[in-house]
Amino acid sequence: MKVLITLLSASAILSTFALAESATSTAVQATHQVMEQERTQNEIQNRFRSMSTNELLEKRGTMTQQREREELHNELQKRYKTMTQEEKRKFDQHPPENRIRKGMGQGVGGGMGGGKGGR
């Protein structure tokens, strides 16, 4: 009987260790993921900081990643006070001249039904 209780106790202790190890592994993975996201964000910020205002204005409307769009917007907002009149005119233009138009190249679907019609 004591052997059975000892085996059950050992089994419970081992499964507790396994759960703790699994939780630690998950936490480490999450930390690495956050660090990677921060590194990527810093790379984008540095790339935009090194560009001229005109280069940034040319990028408007061409970003396909949400994070890049946000960082571009933030950098342009920081520079707005020091922009020339021409740069401000380009910045205030809606939509940007070179934007990627949504839906370009996609067909227009007719759908499956037409309602009641004349039936």
Bigger pLDDT: 19 vs 4: 19
Length of the chain: 119
Residue of 68, 85, 76, 86 whose CA lies nearest to 51: 76
Give the mean model confidence (pLDDT) for residues 83-93: 89
What share of the chain in percent tops pLDDT 70?
72
Q: Are 61 and 98 a contacting pair, CB within 8 Å? A: yes
Say what the pTM is.
Answer: 0.53
- Residue 55 confidence (pLDDT): 92
At 52, the pLDDT band (50, 70, 90 cuts) reads: very high
Quote the DSSP letter at residue 109: P
